[in-house]
Structure 1
Amino acid sequence: MPFTGAMLRLARQRRGIRQNEAAQRLGISPTDLSRIENDAKEPSLSFLEKAAGEFGVPAEFFSLTDRIYGAPVSVHPMWRKKAQVTAGEMDAVVAELNVRVMHLRRLLQATDINPIRTIPQLDIEEYGSPAKIAALLRMHWMLPAGPIPNLTQILEEAGIVIVHSRMGGSSVSGVTFRVPGLPPLIVLNSDQPGDRMRFTLSHELAHIVMHQFPTPTMEQEANEFASCFLVPTKDVAPHFGQGRVDLPKLAALKRVWKVSMASLVFAADRAGKLTTSQKNYLWQQFSMNHIRTSEPPELDFPHEQPTIVTSLLRAHVENIGYSVAELANILTMNEAELPEFYDMSELIGTAPNRPKGLRIVK
């Protein structure tokens, strides 16, 4: 059987297993495992079968020749958990991204996505600021003034593929992968609340629209874009009224705008509705009520559910006629592993609404 050492490494890293631990599990030295992963030593068939069992993949996975990509332009952590993403977390996240790209490439061999929106490339140096670019994109997509009810749907209509993942329990809140020949892929950490997930999605959209190359200020720029795209200053200003901006008002507006109370404080400040002392007092209230670390759970709202990948899977099962086992085979996965990546309950029963622009190609 042909063998690709990089695929062995990818399978190991996706499971978050360090090389020394993997070598011990597989009964070889770390040096030999390193040589195998770098195609400097030919593995035995029994070794590959054991590795397949340890890493939860079919042995055929190790013979794939797909290109493996490194870390994307931006990977940012969930600030409420910790400030840094460890090397091990990064390896696992990037490995999962590569596997998802491999799946997407195979799913799109028999199906097609025809977006009804286009994604412009808007450079900050040309357009002035992330806030201006956010306003331009809303105009380009002809979004009405006010809150965006379903951000996920808007991005999917632009051909952006969105998936939710626990990301191995890592601190990464979201990441965008752009590879040649495929639509942009955004993976969102499913462990974050709905308001944070929408902000993360808007943040990742900023990278797609504004950032072709990494810069020292790109994260700050993406945050500014995300805030202004979700809560345009001129649209939200009248909602604060002429009275005092306090916690009850922020809580009420969170239900309308579907962003965090903290985001609304920044929006009120941008709109000139807060003096410095009022803003400082609000942040003190946030700290006293522990809102900075966890906003009131009664204000939470359900995650927006992406539909493109589910529709691609359903197209293969219902329209093309694959069994679930055959679907796992074309994705080079164990059938039991499918639920780790996809909600298999969506492949049974009533079909969800297919996103506009999804075309089945047989």
Structure 2
Amino acid sequence: MIGERIKRARTAAGLSMQALGDIVGISANMVKKYEHNQSMPSSGVLLKLAAALSVRSEYFFRPAQVTLGEVEYRKKASAPAKLLKKIESDVIDQAERWLALKNVWPNFPISDFDYHPDIPVVSSLAAVEHVAAKVRSDWQLGMNPLPDLIDLLESKGILVIVSNVPQADKFDGLEAKISGQPIIVVSAHWPGCRQRFTLAHELGHLILHGRLDDSVDEEMACNRFASAFLLPDIGLYQHLGEQRSNIDAKELYFLKHEYGLSMAACLYRSADLGVITQEKKRQIFIQFSQNGWRKQEPGKPYPQEQTLLFEQLVYRALAEGILSESKAAELLQISVMALHKQRQMLAEAV
């Protein structure tokens, strides 16, 4: 158990056995023995390993162990295997703490994801629009902008993990399952509109998988679902009208900040719904490229989304006597003293 955790934390830190050994003051061969459970590190070495790997010492003894299943990456071709291993290690660490928290509750207050809409086989991208509208209707969301997508998905039993692993530009999202529970992973380094599109895209996979005609590409269908779910047709028509000869970039900027969808995605949406022609979309994208907006859109970025549910449930479990302070601090990866300060709403804990 300890050996596997040392290896996972080393992989997440991007360190070779030699590099970790140099930091801790042991040989690479000794690190290998630890990882293969051929030798047990002393308490002093464990503390040094924890410091070198930026984990708490309790991490090495955490009983819960999970395995990612049905992993589906949405990644750029340049994403190296080393980066994906870092992401998976981070995801497993966060998921283990989720599972540990869930297991202490007699009745966990968040239901499992159990949404299976009664829809016919989706035979075209246009039909995806109806699926997105049905999800909004079934979940009683109306047609207005969705202010907090992470909170919405978590309330439906989808575990959302925000990974702080760097090199986010080479990673486009991950959807997997842990003990049957779907999880969606986004990066803490992305702008909010990219996080939201990825979350909606992965929700599309959960809902559309197995319901698409063979002629429909699933990735394209999930892109269409994400756009329709975040920006319903009625909202687009209300702001832009039903047919235009041109669209000003500032209009796309306003749409972005109202619906949390990038300017580029709003432009695609306009062409998909026939507000502008595909040729006009192409012309505007040429302007985007000339202005450098394909890499970074102008103006203030859309705010990032955050996940608060895990912390909220930890403090709820504390209040109800389900968790001890020491266990709560371990799950939150802070000291007991820092936990005291946070509970008392004092100055920022260190």
Taking structure 1 as reference, are residues 170 and 326 closer, same or farther at Cα in structure 2, changes over 3 Å only?
same
Q: Alignment partner of 1:17: what SS?
A: coil
| Distance in 2 of aligned mates of 1:122 and 1:191 | 36
Q: 1:43 aligns with which of 40, 43, 46?
A: 40
User: Structure 1 296/64 Cα, relative in aligned 2: closer, same or farther at 3 Å?
Assistant: same
TM superposition shift of 1:158: 0.7
Q: How far apart, CA to CA, are the structure 2 residues paired with 1:234 and 1:117?
A: 28
Q: Which residue of 1 aligns with 2:86?
A: 92
In the other structure, the counterpart of 1:174 is 173
How many Å apart are 1:10 and its aligned residue?
1.3
Moved more, 219-228 or 252-261: 219-228
* Aligned partner of residue 147 in structure 1, secondary structure: coil
Paired AA for residue 188 in structure 1: V
Q: Which residue of 2 is the match for residue 9 of structure 1?
A: 7
Could you tell me whether the CA contact under 8 Å between 1:93 and 1:168 is conserved in 2?
A: no
Helix, strand or coil: the match of 2:178?
coil
Give the letter for the 1:84 counterpart.
Answer: S
Structure 1 residues 196 and 208, CA, compared in 2 at 3 Å: closer, same or farther? same
Number of matched pairs: 332
CA 1:92–1:324: 2 relative to 1, 3 Å: farther
Identical residues among aligned pairs (%): 25
Deviations 1:32-85 (A, max 9, x none): 53343233x2234254444233223344533445434257522234x6xxx422
Aligned twin of 1:261: 263
Alpha-carbon shift at residue 98 of structure 1 (Å): 0.8
Partner in structure 2 of residue 356 of structure 1: none
Larger mean Cα displacement after TM superposition, 256-265 or 218-227? 218-227
Q: Conserved in 2, the CA contact under 8 Å of 1:156 and 1:162?
A: yes
CA distance 1:193–1:35, shift in 2 (3 Å): same
SS in 1 for 2:103: coil
TM-score, normalised on structure 2?
0.79
Larger CA deviation: 309-318 vs 163-172: 163-172
Hey, what does 2:207 align to over in structure 1?
209
Please tell me the residue identity of whatever aligns with 2:109.
I
Contact 1:58 1:332 in 2 (8 A): no
Q: Distance in 1 between matches of 2:117 and 2:8?
A: 32
**Which residue of structure 2 lines up, in the alignment, with residue 314 of structure 1?**
315
- Residue of structure 2 equivalent to 1:270: 272
Counterparts of 1:154-165 in structure 2 under 5 Å? 154-165=152-163
Q: State whether residues 68 and 177 of structure 2, in contact with CA within 8 Å, keep that contact through their aligned partners in structure 1.
A: no
**What's the CA shift for 1:29?**
4.7
Q: Do structure 1's residue 282 and structure 2's residue 276 form an aligned pair?
A: no
TM-aligned CA deviation for residue 270 of structure 1: 0.9
Deviation string 1:268-305 (CA, Å, 9 cap, x unpaired) is 1111122243122211221222221111233x332334
- Following superposition, the deviation at residue 19 of structure 1 comes to 2.9
Contact 2:204 2:226 in 1 (8 A): yes
Once the two structures are superposed, what CA deviation does each residue of 1:238-291 show, in whole Å capped at 9, x if it has no partner? 432244322122223223322111111111111112224312221122122222
- The equivalent residue for 2:192 is 194
TM-score (normalizing by structure 1): 0.77
1:59 and 1:290 mapped to 2: Cα distance? 46
Whether the aligned pair in 2 keeps the contact of 1:11 and 1:95 (CA below 8 Å) is: yes
Counterpart of 1:357? none
Distance 1:280 1:333, change over 3 A: closer
CA positional deviation for 1:226: 1.3
The question of whether the paired residues in 2 share the 8 Å contact of 1:121 and 1:210 is answered with: no
Q: 1:173 deviation in Å?
A: 4.5
Residue pair 1:206, 1:225 contacting (<8 A) in 2 also = yes
Q: Please state how far the C-alpha of 1:199 moved relative to its aligned partner.
A: 0.7
> For the Cα contact (< 8 Å) 2:256–2:302, is it kept in 1?
no
**For residues 259 and 346 of structure 1, do their structure 2 counterparts lie closer, same or farther at Cα, with a shift above 3 Å needed?**
farther
Q: 1:9-35: per-residue Cα shift (whole Å, max 9, x none)?
A: 112122222233224434555455334
**Does 109-118 or 266-275 show the bigger shift?**
109-118
Aligned residue type for 1:236 = L
Distance across 1 between alignment mates of 2:27 and 2:220: 44
Q: SS in structure 2 opposite 1:73?
A: strand
Partner SS, residue 167 of structure 1:
coil
Higher relative contact order (CA 8 A, sep 6+): 1
Q: Secondary structure at 2:121's aligned position in 1?
A: helix
Q: Which blocks of at least 5 consecutive residues in structure 1 are unaligned? A: 351-362
For the pair 1:335 / 2:335, whether they are aligned, the reply is yes
| Gap runs ≥5 in structure 2 | none
Distance 1:269 1:68, change over 3 A: same
Give the Cα separation in 2 of the matches to 1:101 and 1:207.
20
Q: Find out whether 1:349 has 2:345 as its counterpart.
A: yes
- What SS class does the counterpart of residue 36 from structure 1 fall into? helix
Q: 1:110 aligns with which of 84, 93, 104?
A: 104
Match of 2:115 in 1: 119
2:143 touches 2:234 (CA, 8 Å); kept in 1? Answer: no
